[in-house]
């Protein structure tokens, strides 16, 4: 991940969670690099740093494989937003979110916000098949678009986009409806003990995306980033007015620098 080397201190953390193969890494590539490219199953976790206005947001890609499950709650520690991702063609991937991933958010911030994302919408929804950004604009054929005749790219995908059905433009069966996703979002709120009326509504926090075509990908991340801004401002404000910090510094006695920063 190229941007990691120019490390800045993140103001806030956003974490992607979900079963293996749902497309977490692909979504991040699409958003950050404007590309759909071949992935290898993530080992452990990795993050991108995204500048959003004057703020730095770290976006964490986690491994869906069972063997890395224990790391999940570590990645969620202090998260301001968690994105739960499932594959719209795979019912089990939604069920796994509730069974395995929801409890990882116990370490997230109390005011953490949650989004539920059904990826691979290009496989089930004609409107998600249209290429959305630079791949299309530059005339570069996206890997695995309907026009592609390069089967080796498709063969990397475990959900069957390489099937004759998807190549001929026929859609796959959608196993998870938006209503299923919204019902899961409501169960997240209940699990977190949050009041539905004062929380962000399911309609706003459930998305369907395609990392392959870019469908809804910018909309997802941008909506979330805007929602975490108040969190950043609150956190900065708390740091500035924190009496603990001031008292610690005041205890320095004759230290002039401490005194001047104290009031
Ligand atoms: N058709 C289609 N395939 C996708 C999409 N997103 C990802 N894929 C394919 O799904 C497979 C898994 O994608 P990854 O992004 O590696 O999945 P992951 O969730 O990061 O998986 P782990 O790292 O193992 O947890 C790859 O073969 C991708 O090419 C999508 O939007 N549409
Ligand atoms: Mg991955």
Q: How far is the CA of 72 from the centre of ligand 1 (A)?
A: 19
Q: What is the count of structural domains for the chain?
A: 1
**Strands across the sheet containing 45-52:** 45-52, 55-62, 12-18, 81-87, 113-119, 206-208
In a domain, 24, yes or no: yes
pLDDT at residue 134, rounded to an integer:
54
Mutate to test the pocket of ligand 1, among 20, 21, 207 (most ligand atoms within 8 A of CB): 21
Q: How far is the CA of 25 from the centre of ligand 2 (A)?
A: 4
Percentage helix, strand, coil, to 5, in the chain? 45, 15, 40
Closest residue by Cα to atom 12, ligand 1, is 21
Render each residue's pLDDT in the chain as its tens digit; 263 residues.
544 445 678 899 999 999 999 999 999 999 999 999 999 999 989 999 999 999 999 999 999 999 898 888 999 999 999 999 999 999 999 999 999 999 999 999 999 999 999 999 999 999 999 887 655 444 333 333 322 222 222 223 334 443 444 445 678 999 999 999 999 999 999 999 999 999 999 999 999 999 999 999 999 999 999 999 887 787 777 776 665 554 454 444 434 333 333 32
Closest residue by Cα to atom 2, ligand 1, is 120
pLDDT at residue 138, rounded to an integer:
40
Q: How far is the CA of 252 from the centre of ligand 1 (A)?
A: 54
Q: CATH number of the domain at 101, please.
A: 3.40.50.300
- CB-based burial of residue 263 (10 Å sphere; 0-12 exposed, 13-18 middle, 19+ buried)? exposed
Q: What angle do CA 184, 131, 36 make, to 5 degrees?
A: 75
Q: What SS3 string covers 132-145?
A: CCHHHHCCCCCCCC
In a domain, 38, yes or no: yes
In a domain, 6, yes or no: no
Residues spanned by the domain of 218: 12-131+175-241
pLDDT at residue 238, rounded to an integer:
74
pLDDT at residue 232, rounded to an integer:
79
Kindly list the protein residues whose Cβ atom lies closer than 6 A to any atom of ligand 1. Answer: 18, 20-26, 39, 41-42, 63-65, 119-120, 122-123, 156-159, 161, 210-212
Mutate to test the pocket of ligand 1, among 67, 150, 157, 210 (most ligand atoms within 8 A of CB): 157
In a domain, 71, yes or no: yes
SS3 call for 86 = strand
In a domain, 249, yes or no: no
In a domain, 64, yes or no: yes
As beta bridge partners, residue 82 has 15, 114
In a domain, 32, yes or no: yes
In sequence order, which ranges of 100-150 are alpha helices (DSSP H)? 134-137
In a domain, 248, yes or no: no
pLDDT at residue 167, rounded to an integer:
46
Closest-approaching ligand to the CA atom of 39 = 1
């Amino acid at each position: 991940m190229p941007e990691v080397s120019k490390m800045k201190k993140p103001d806030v953390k956003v974490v992607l969670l979900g079963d293996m193969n749902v497309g977490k890494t692909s979504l991040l590539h699409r958003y950050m690099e404007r590309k759909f490219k071949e992935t290898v199953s993530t080992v452990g976790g990795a993050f991108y740093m995204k500048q959003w206005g004057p703020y730095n947001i770290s976006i964490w890609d986690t491994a869906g494989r069972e063997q890395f499950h224990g790391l999940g709650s570590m990645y969620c520690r202090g998260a301001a937003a968690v994105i739960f991702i499932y594959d719209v063609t795979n019912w089990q991937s939604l069920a796994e979110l509730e069974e395995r991933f929801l409890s990882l958010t116990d370490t997230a911030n109390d005011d953490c916000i949650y989004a539920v994302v059904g990826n691979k919408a290009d496989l089930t929804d004609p409107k998600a098949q249209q290429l959305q950004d630079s791949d299309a604009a530059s005339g570069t054929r996206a890997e695995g678009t309907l026009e592609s005749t390069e089967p080796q790219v498709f063969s990397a995908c475990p959900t069957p986009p390489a099937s004759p059905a998807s190549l001929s433009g026929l859609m796959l069966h959608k196993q998870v409806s938006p209503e299923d996703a919204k019902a899961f979002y409501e169960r997240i709120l209940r699990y977190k003990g949050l009041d539905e009326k004062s929380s962000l509504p399911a309609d706003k926090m459930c998305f369907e995306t395609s990392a392959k075509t870019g469908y809804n990908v910018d909309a997802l991340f941008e909506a979330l980033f805007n929602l975490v801004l108040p969190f950043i401002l609150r956190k900065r404000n708390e740091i500035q007015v924190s009496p603990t910090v001031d008292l610690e510094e005041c205890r320095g006695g004759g230290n002039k620098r401490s005194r001047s920063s104290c009031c």
